[in-house]
Structure 1
């Protein structure tokens, strides 16, 4: 039994490696000759990987690509653990100060994903779907992450902009560009009833030693409680926490 499991794991790794190299994804039929496995074997393993979020399938093209769970694991190997470990103490402090949920999200291609979350102790609170891929252009977190991109990079992200029926409010590319400009001017972003109905968020960028925005630190809560006035009150503490985390990652002190 152990040998069979090891063989299945080996095949799954080879399929994930082939998908990573494919760029735009691939179907089971395309992966079969690449990996040397029977198409039925590839399809069976892809179904298992899909159930765990390691791969995702485009329902229109039937092509598979690397999923959020594999990306999060990769982020952990490539420094995500360092980021989370440095951020976590400040996230707990910020949660206790704001009384709302604190999240840490990163960009993954043209999407974003929550890497860590410290939930509010309130009975009614916001809780993200850890591992879910949100469009990079959506919400306060997304705009903070995009504010660190060049205008050309922003154009490339928005070139894939599509209405997402899972979002409460879908902004136009021009509206997104305008809000990114506001982030660059004020160093933080706010959103209410946007990505998720009845949820408000405020986010600030976390930078590394090169000055690049590597994550978005956010505070989120129910919109009827976490009002614009409450978000304004939280901004200074959020900025201080992001600055402290950035300093731990090598950024110059005071960077926001």
Structure 2
């Protein structure tokens, strides 16, 4: 990125930092004085921020306030924060039960992103990072999300090339579609080394108050410890824990 563009971005961030609970409204000169910049420079940046919806301007006083885009961004952040908080007890219990790496993945723009995790204390373990983004077709958490997505959104994702992450990644659409049907029937997804080779993953979906799948609760470990017998043992437990998180978010399951 050119140095001029970087400087403009940093100055725009500095302008936003001028606003606070004590100073919710600011004029061009006030901001220029705080940042030791010319009023013309600040004015140009304010116009750009206003056109993007990041700031709004009072037509009478000509002073600036935070705009609707800030609310949109904050709602995204808060939704993740709420989900992570509500999922924390279930995450801790799943970790206590399995002693493997457990995580919560949130659906985000056609991918899944890790928003919370507790790593296994074992030396050999599956390692994931908070903030790490992964494709939906590879891994148990991704399949738990895909299986319960609206058909239109699912078709859009399956219409794109499916990247092979490991030799076991399912990249055939027909095979993956059949796998997702199995996930819907049993309520959980399994991955045999589809995202991390020599690892087995188990995941169950989390729904919001509108009944939409928004996240997945996941546990994964090396196959030498976490095998098909572990899946049979922990599948009912991960479904129960994921349901607890869904209910905490306001989800009410439909009667069977």
TM-score (norm 1): 0.68
- 1:21-170 alignment runs, 5 A limit: 77-164=77-164, 166-170=165-169
Q: Is 1:248 aligned to 2:253, yes or no?
A: no
Counterpart Cα distance in 2 of 1:173 and 1:13: 47
| Cα distance, 1:7–1:153 mapped onto 2, change above 3 Å | closer
Q: Is 1:9 aligned to 2:10, yes or no?
A: yes
Aligned partners of 2:105 and 2:113 also within 8 Å: yes
Counterpart Cα distance in 2 of 1:112 and 1:132: 8
Counterpart Cα distance in 2 of 1:168 and 1:75: 39
Shift of 1:231: 1.3
Aligned partners of 1:188 and 1:203 also within 8 Å: yes
Shift of 1:167: 3.6
Aligned partners of 1:168 and 1:195 also within 8 Å: no
Shift of 1:78: 4.2
| Cα distance, 1:114–1:211 mapped onto 2, change above 3 Å | same
TM-score (norm 2): 0.68
Counterpart Cα distance in 2 of 1:129 and 1:212: 25
- 1:193-232 alignment runs, 5 A limit: 193-232=193-232
Unaligned runs of 5+ in 2: 1-5, 16-43, 46-72
2:184 corresponding residue in structure 1: 184
1:235 corresponding residue in structure 2: 235
Shift of 1:187: 0.6
| Cα distance, 1:239–1:75 mapped onto 2, change above 3 Å | farther
Shift of 1:108: 1.7
Aligned partners of 1:106 and 1:113 also within 8 Å: yes
2:62 corresponding residue in structure 1: none
Counterpart Cα distance in 1 of 2:109 and 2:14: 21
Unaligned runs of 5+ in 1: 15-35, 38-72
Counterpart Cα distance in 2 of 1:255 and 1:122: 41
The more displaced of 83-92 and 117-126 is: 117-126
Shift of 1:254: 8.9
| Cα distance, 1:217–1:88 mapped onto 2, change above 3 Å | same
Counterpart Cα distance in 2 of 1:11 and 1:160: 36
Counterpart Cα distance in 2 of 1:117 and 1:255: 32
Aligned partners of 2:169 and 2:193 also within 8 Å: no
Shift of 1:105: 0.3
Counterpart Cα distance in 2 of 1:82 and 1:254: 23
Specify the SS of the correspondent of 1:113: strand
